Amino acid sequence: MNTNTLRIADETKRPITKRFAFTEARIKAASCPAGKDRIFIHDETVRGLACLITANGQRAYYVYAWDSNLNKPIKKKIGDANSINVDAARDAAKIELGNIAKGSDIMAARRKTRTAPTVGELWQQYHDQHLTGKSSPHSIKSDLSRYKLHLSAWAGRKTTSITPDDCRSFHADITRNKGGNIADKTLKLLRRMFTYANVRPNPVSEAGIEFHGDDKRTRFLSAEEMAAFTKALTTCSNQDIADAIRFALLTGARRGNVCGAKWQDIHLDRGFWIIPRAESKNDEAMTIPLVPEAIALLTRRQKINALRADRRSKRYNTPEQPSIYVFPGRNVNQPLKEVKTTFEKVCTAAGILTGKAAKDAGVVGFRFHDLRHTLASWMLGHGAPLSVVGKQLGHMDVNSTARYAHQDVS
């Protein structure tokens, strides 16, 4: 039998050549010869268009051509024959062949996909190299749970294969089955993972997902609550954490950034604090202006840290340097990690409901993150323009700041 032939299963049984003008009927009728697991047939009309036919009857169109730039033949899939017709396959092949003629490497994306980590591999890197040592045990436990329960379904998928459409569908599925809050937190974890891996564009960000919790929170301290809250801070048993809370209220910074603040990023003489890109939620370095009260607090913290370093030097009879962190944890070489317990005690002393107590009372509880809302509301209430407030909060979009404009802090 001529090895350069292919039998048509349902016609005359006469062999035909592997190159002929494709038609829908001929593609559908073609079958893989006995003893082979797959075979390529080639279009006579568009040289470089081929159709792969497997022993189990699957058919897919490919660009199959010689790439003079790479000096080797290349095969790039166009689509399944069940999904696109011959004319569409020819049009797609012409575009790819034209790109080859222009010197483009049409296989670059495929090679990138092959070398890209899977979601499971990225999670392991993110967990071991980013979360560990930088997040609280509670945060690590929560993210691990979200990964195991939801994101692990994508463990074997290449990160480069995740599209904005995938993210939108995934968010909708989790919302439907587990609720909006869990869906939000799961997709935000995935977004952080992609940001950590410097995947651009970030498919979660590109998806434009309307997170359920984004526009729900409008909790901030009233003037009466502010007075009670600041008084409770002065009587707090842990003034190190009380200072961290004060600093959050004065800067509007997120809890993670406050707890991890380093002296090398604080510029007291120039009155600003730079949050490095690697630690910024927006994947951009943030410059936070420091009001006089914040500068006074930081100046006091410098003296406290220097005094404690001197005490350690005398105790251990070795030179000790002040911690690199503005708010060090129990281990001075680690950042402050746990503030929730002290924060809730301060709120309780001020008569402000949080967590379960607020839920049981049917009111919106006050969270650490609401210190950020409070600063924004007070600034706008005292005449600061949206652009100034947005810069203080590190917002990339003025619309993110505009949500506070209607709030009354009186």
pLDDT value at position 9? 42
Question: For a pLDDT cut of 70, what percent of the chain falls above it?
Answer: 88
Per residue in 148-197, pLDDT (tens digit) is: 999 999 999 988 889 999 999 999 999 999 888 899 999 999 999 999 88
> What pLDDT, on a 0 to 100 scale, did the predictor assign at position 219?
84
Confidence bin at 343 (pLDDT 50/70/90) = very high
* Amino acid 399: pLDDT: 63
CB-based contact 250:375 (threshold 8 Å): yes
Listed in sequence order, the residues at least 6 apart from 281 whose beta carbon sits closer than 8 Å to its beta carbon are: 254, 394
Q: Order of strands across the sheet with 59-67? A: 19-20, 38-43, 49-54, 59-67, 72-80
Please give the pLDDT value at position 72: 81
Q: Which range is least confidently modeled, 59-63, 279-283, 303-307?
A: 279-283
pLDDT computed for residue 239 by the predictor = 96
d(CA 329, CA 337): 7
- The CB density around residue 110, as the number of other CB atoms within 10 Å, is 15
DSSP string, 22-82: --HHHHHHB-PPTT-SEEEEEESSSTTEEEEEETTS-EEEEEEEEETTTTEEEEEEEEETT
Tally Cβ neighbours within 10 Å of residue 252.
22
Q: What's the CA gap between 206 and 165, in Å, rounded? A: 9
Task: Judge whether residue 12 has pLDDT over 80.
Answer: no
Computed over every residue of the chain, the mean pLDDT equals 86
Q: What is the pLDDT of residue 137?
A: 77
Alpha helices in 153-264 (DSSP H): 164-178, 180-196, 203-206, 223-234, 239-251, 255-259
Is it the case that residue 16 has pLDDT exceeding 50? no
Mean pLDDT across 338-354: 95
Residue among 131, 68, 77 at smallest CA distance from 102: 68
> For position 301, what pLDDT does the model report?
96
3-state secondary structure 267-330: ECCCCEEEECHHHCCCCCCEEEECCHHHHHHHHHHHHHHHHHHHHHHHHHCCCCCCCCECCECC
Predicted confidence (pLDDT) per residue in 76-116, tens digit: 889 999 889 999 999 999 998 888 888 787 676 666 556 77
- Give me the mean pLDDT over the 389-403 stretch: 72
pLDDT at 15: 47
Q: Which residue has the higher pLDDT, 138 or 89?
A: 89
Taking only the tens place, the pLDDT of each residue in 254-303 is 999 999 999 999 999 999 999 988 787 766 788 999 999 999 999 999 99
The pLDDT of residue 113 is 55
The position carrying tokens 């509880």 is 365
Q: State mean pLDDT over 13-42.
A: 84
Q: With 50 as the cut, is the pLDDT of residue 235 above it?
A: yes
The pLDDT of residue 17 is above 70: no
Q: Is the pLDDT of residue 395 over 80?
A: no
> Pick the residue with more confidence: 348 or 212?
348
Taking a C-beta distance cutoff of 8 angstroms, is the pair 146, 185 a contact? yes
pLDDT above 50: residue 11: no
- pLDDT-based confidence at 408, cuts 50/70/90? low
What is the average pLDDT across 51-63? Answer: 93
Contact 53, 62 (CB under 8 A): no
Q: How far is CA 369 from the centre of its chain?
A: 19
Residue of 109, 147, 108 whose CA lies nearest to 126: 147
Q: State mean pLDDT over 4-25.
A: 61
- Pairing mode, if any, of strands 49-54 and 5-7? unpaired
